[in-house]
Structure 1
Amino acid sequence: MKTVYIIEDEEILRDLLSTFIATTYPDLELLGMTGDGGEGIEKCIELAPDLVIVDIQLPEVNGLEILHRLKSNFPKIKILIFSGKTTYQSVKIAVNGKADGFINKISGIEELEQAINAVSKGEEFFSPDIRDEVARIRAEPPGRSRPPFAR
């Protein structure tokens, strides 16, 4: 993993993520960041980052649809959902959409670092507070053959 793009609507969190990546991962190039989901998708399609850190609740296009669209266009892209919205439904859509990780914004910097490290090695990382839900979702019989945003 060499490049990253951040899609987060809260400017302070974008700045904090940018600083964290620059100081913790000097070999990881930040290609850009935006607070708008529509612009984020366009930039990711144009720039093809290795990793996208994306919030769920965004203007224009939400993070779960971004997950689906980017995974459809770039199956090898790594997507880390970084959100305060950890409802069962959002976790289910993320898991079924093949998110590489999902962490709660309140989890802390250590967990973010663990998530980026795991995803960069081709592993998944889900916050401990949602791992049981992830296991239940994966154990459910298939109900849909595609994520809800597929066309």
Structure 2
Amino acid sequence: MKTAYIIEDEEILRNLLSTFFATTFPDIELLGMTGDGGEGIEQCLELAPDLVIVDIQLPEVNGLEILHLLKRKYPKIKILIFTGKTSHQTVKIAVNGNADGFINKISGLEELEKAIRAVEKDEQFFSPEIYDEVVRIRKEGPKRSRPPF
């Protein structure tokens, strides 16, 4: 994994993530960041980063829509959902959309680092508090072939 892009609406968190990448993953080039989902999807379609870290609640286009759009266009892209929205429905949409990971923001940067290291090895990573739910969702299987939006 050589490149990354961050889509996060909170500017202070974008700045923190930028510093986090520079210090923790100096070998991954941060291609850009935005707080707007519409701009984020445009940039990712143009730049084709290896990794996208995306929040769910964003202006214009939400993170789950971004997940589905990017995975359809670039099936090998790695997408980590980094959010505070961990409802059953959001987890289910992310899992069925083939998210490579789902990290609860309250888990902090240490857990995000674990997730990035996992996807670098072609593994998936889900926050421990939602892992059992992910297993149940996978056992159920997808009930529809398209996202519900």
TM-score with structure 2 setting the length: 0.98
3-state secondary structure, aligned to 1:81: strand
Q: Which residue of 2 aligns with 1:92?
A: 92
Aligned CA-pair RMSD: 0.8
List gaps (5 residues or longer) in structure 1.
Answer: none
Residue 139 (str. 1) matches residue 143 (str. 2): no
Q: Which amino acid aligns with 2:34?
A: T
2: CA distance, partners of 1:19 / 1:27? 13
2: CA distance, partners of 1:141 / 1:100? 16
Matches within 5 A, 1:6-21: 6-21=6-21
Q: 1:10 to 1:142 in 2, by over 3 A?
A: closer
2: CA distance, partners of 1:23 / 1:141? 39
Q: Note the alpha carbon deviations across 1:82-114, whole angstroms, 9 max, x for none.
A: 000000000000000000000000002211110
TM-score with structure 1 setting the length: 0.96
Q: Which amino acid aligns with 1:20?
A: F
Q: Which amino acid aligns with 1:63?
A: G
Q: Which residue of 2 aligns with 1:120?
A: 120
Q: Which amino acid aligns with 1:96?
A: N
Q: CA deviation at 1:143?
A: 1.7
Residue 56 (str. 1) matches residue 53 (str. 2): no
1: CA distance, partners of 2:53 / 2:31? 12
Aligned positions, number? 149
After TM superposition, which residue ranges in structure 1, 4 or more long, deviate above 3 angstroms? none
Q: CA deviation at 1:146?
A: 2.7
1: CA distance, partners of 2:82 / 2:16? 13
Q: CA deviation at 1:141?
A: 4.5
Residue 66 (str. 1) matches residue 82 (str. 2): no
Q: 1:16 to 1:76 in 2, by over 3 A?
A: same
Q: Which residue of 2 aligns with 1:47?
A: 47
